[in-house]
Amino acid sequence: MAAACELERKTGFHLPENFRRICLECVDAGSHSRSKPSEGYILWAPLDEKSAIETRAWIDYADYFRLVKYSPGAANEVGHLMPRTDGSWTLHYDIAGPDEDPSDFRLEGARFTPGALISISEANKSRVYCVRGIGPY
């Protein structure tokens, strides 16, 4: 690990300043209150000036568009965010495999600001998540 850190320092590698850590928490769609605070996602992605995921940055920084899905009684699922041609995003858990996972964001126009609601479809079931926090990568 120390060698990798040295390489980064020597090459001057750094992520753009707009990369953020975004915490999403499952909510009850009817009341927008916390229904299952121990279920959610942590995303790492750059946000543009409108607080939307910056798709252009994916070309150069795809490896850093990451996610962790967490829920009680289950192991954390780690993966990447990958854009689709229709403007949505897929959550790709099997990093080594060629197939897309059946999870996707419908993010056309979505803004990641505290309190915003985001819909994620997984296994033909859509759930609502609230943006509970945004911080540096």
Whether residue 37 has pLDDT greater than 60 = no
Q: Contact 131/20 with Cβ under 8 angstroms? A: no
Whether residue 7 has pLDDT greater than 50 = no
Average pLDDT over residues 85-103: 66
**Dihedral sign computed on CA atoms, order 61, 63, 70, 2:** negative
Q: Contact 47/53 with Cβ under 8 angstroms? A: yes
Is-above-0.95 flag for pTM? no
The pLDDT of residue 5? 38
Q: Does residue 37 lie within any of the structural domains?
A: yes
Average pLDDT over residues 85-108: 64
Domain that holds residue 106: 15-136
Rounded to whole angstroms, the Cα distance separating 114 from 66 reads 19
Q: Does residue 6 lie within any of the structural domains?
A: no
Q: Does residue 21 lie within any of the structural domains?
A: yes
Rounded to whole angstroms, the Cα distance separating 4 from 6 reads 5
Q: Does residue 66 lie within any of the structural domains?
A: yes
Q: Does residue 99 lie within any of the structural domains?
A: yes
Whether residue 130 has pLDDT greater than 50 = yes
Q: Does residue 47 lie within any of the structural domains?
A: yes
Q: What is the domain count for the chain?
A: 1
Q: Does residue 1 lie within any of the structural domains?
A: no
Amino acid found at 63: D
